[in-house]
Amino acid sequence: MSETKQSVNTTSTQDKPKACCVCKPEKEERDNCLLFNGQESTSCKEFIDKYKSCMKGFGFETH
């Protein structure tokens, strides 16, 4: 029975895409804004929020 649980857990983690492979356009916009404006800039909030929203859509928690 424990073998069945392991295969189910493995399958569910395999179905989830890697974080590096999703939300690439949003990540690029966020990174460019932060690069040219600095991490303390409030002008990047829009891009950061779009990226976080996209990542949450794929099941990733953002902090």
Annotated binding-site ranges: 20-21
What is the chain's alpha carbon radius of gyration, rounded to the nearest angstrom?
16
Q: Which residues are annotated as a binding site for Cu cation?
A: 20-21
Give the residue among 7, 46, 5 at the shortest CA–CA distance from 26: 46
d(CA 33, CA 14) in angstroms, rounded, equals 32
